[in-house]
Structure formats: structure tokens, C-alpha cells
Amino acid sequence: MSDPVKIGVLGADGRMGRAVVKAISRNARATLTAALTAPNAATLGKDAGTVAGIEPCGVLMSDDIAAGLADCDVLIDFSRPQAAIDTVLAMHGTKCQTFVTGTTGYSDTEAKALTEAAGGITLLQSGNFSLGVNLLEVLVEHAARALGPDWDIDIAEQHHKHKIDSPSGTALMLGEAAAKGRGKTLSDIRAPIRELSDAPRKDGDIGFSAIRGGDIIGVHDVHFINPLETLMLSHRAGDRSLFAVGAVTAALWAVQQKAGRYTMRDVLGL
């Protein structure tokens, strides 16, 4: 039996970070070797297992990125855009050459900076690590291609009240899939935010709406609407652990790949 893959977690004390720590503890092919957080975090020095609500694991929460990268094969990231970019830049020349990120909320400039910073390493980025959501992405692309531009597309998403970015990374991922199905890029056919515009909707545009409240884990509905009928493709997340398990699965796959950029479609063979 081969040795477990050494995995570090960036943002290990966040909602998703804690779930990833739990998922690693339950996977015989993986072991946690670094739990990274912000320099001012209240969890610094605490056992990552205890922070995650499981048995102590002997790995303490730390803000020492260099030490963490020196002792892991792959880093799973659920932090903030700037933290992710800074960490990727710090990876060059270290033991850790694989970065799996589920961080969302990148501006266009930050997204470009992440891509440039990741040159020469293995980068796997996904707005959602759920098998169901990634299958939904494929279905949305096919539906958009089959139904054509005379069907309006609107993507509605719901998340917990602490989520900052809107629309969610998953909603944008689904929007990109719909735009691809129409042979466009999302930036070309994204409808203006309704609260900021009173202009009528253009034919072929893709709209978004968001709800933030309570502890909603994730709900995504893609509506295809014409004057005579409506088709809705949906996904509901029942437990946050499904994303964590997917992220660990992605990390175990990505660490075996050559340098380059990948998504969950590659992991799942879609």
C-alpha cells in the first residue's frame, strides 16, 4: 500500500475548511499535514481536528505558509481570492506543486492574476466540487445549445447569510456553461443586475438572482423560459460534506497530473 497523500488546507478554520479536514480524516489515502489560516485568526495554535469538531489530529492551525508548503503534496484552498493568489505565488520552488481551489468571488483582475501566478504548477479550480453540480453543468450546456437563443435563461441561487460573493461561483459556472452552449462567453450575454438597471432584458441574455439567509448550504436552479413553456434544471445540496469529499477526491487526482490547469470535468471524465 502506498503512503497517504500529504494534504494541506488553506482556510482550514472556515466552514468548508473544517469540512475538508473532516473528509481528510476519513480517507485512508490522505493525511492532513498543514492547516493554514489568517495571521489574526482566533484559532491559531489550536488543533485542526478540534477546530473541525473531530478528534485532535496533532496538526496545529498556523499562518506559516512556507512551513505548510514544505510538508504537503497538495494544498486544498477555501479562503479568499488574495490569499489564494499569494499562496500560489509562494508555491514555486517548494515541495507542494499542486493547488486545488474552491475559493470564489474573484474579480476579473484577480482571476487573471491567479492564472498567471499558477504557471508551472498543477492548478485545479472549481466553483463546486459536487458530482451532481458538475453533471448539471454539462446538462445546462447541452440544453442551452439545443433550445437556442429564443429561450430566456435565468439562474437563481441560494446560500447561507455569511456568504459574501454573489452570484455564487457555482451560479457563474452554470452561466458560463449556458453561454458556451450558445457559442458565446458569459461576459458578452450576461444581463445587467436588475437592481442597477431599468433597461428591458435583451433576447439571449443570461440573468442571475441570489438569496442569502440562514444556513442554506446551496440551491441552484437554471430556468429556460419561452412564452409557451419552462424547463428547470436544479441541484440541492443536502450536506456541506459532499463538497469536502469532492475536493479531497480532486486533490488525490490532481497530485498525479502534470503541470497545467484542470477542472472537475477532468476529474470526473466529463
Annotated active-site positions, please? 159, 163
> DSSP for the chain?
-PPPEEEEEETTTSHHHHHHHHHHHT-TTEEEEEEE--TT-TTTTSBHHHHHTSS--SPBEE--HHHHHTT-SEEEE-S-HHHHHHHHHHHTTSS--EEEE------HHHHHHHHHHTTTSEEEE-S---HHHHHHHHHHHHHHHHH-TTSEEEEEEEE-TT---SS-HHHHHHHHHHHHHTTS-HHHHBPPPGGG--SPPPTT-EEEEEEE-TT---EEEEEEE-SS-EEEEEEE-S-THHHHHHHHHHHHHHTTSPSEEE-HHHHHT-
CA–CA dist 123, 29 (Å, integer): 20
